[in-house]
Amino acid sequence: MNLLLIRLIIFAVLFFAGLKLYRMYREWKLDREGPRQAGDAQANRMVRCRWCQVHLPEEDALRVRGDWFCSGDHRDKYLAERQEEEQETHHEQHNDKRGE
């Protein structure tokens, strides 16, 4: 009976020692990798393409008047569509004046 108790105590001590070592190792690892990861996160800030809604790193994106785009193609499509919308509203106004 005493032997069983001693074994249990030894097991418990080993368990907590292992847990503490694991926590120390994890903190040490975080300390070592923390600053580098933070730097990467800053360099790779994600933005969203206005046209296809895809997320990409800021450094790979194109910026036009506060909007982000994943490629020049999508930037051109978005700007072309916006121009068409503007032309359509002008056209409607013109029609109103003619009374159609």
* Residues of this chain that bind Zn ion (CB under 5 A): 49, 51-52, 70, 74
> Do residues 70 and 56 make contact, with C-beta atoms less than 8 angstroms apart?
yes
- Give the shortest CB-75-to-Zn ion separation in angstroms: 8
- Give the shortest CB-21-to-Zn ion separation in angstroms: 48
By C-beta, is 73 or 85 nearer to Zn ion? Answer: 73
- Give the shortest CB-60-to-Zn ion separation in angstroms: 11
The residue with tokens 């990798």 is 33
> Do residues 43 and 59 make contact, with C-beta atoms less than 8 angstroms apart?
yes
For 16, 17, 53, the CA distances from 25, given in Å and listed in that order, are 14, 12, 40
Q: Hey, what's the torsion of the CAs at 60, 58, 66, 35, to 10 degrees?
A: -160
By C-beta, is 39 or 72 nearer to Zn ion? Answer: 72
- Give the shortest CB-54-to-Zn ion separation in angstroms: 5
By C-beta, is 58 or 88 nearer to Zn ion? Answer: 58
By C-beta, is 18 or 72 nearer to Zn ion? Answer: 72
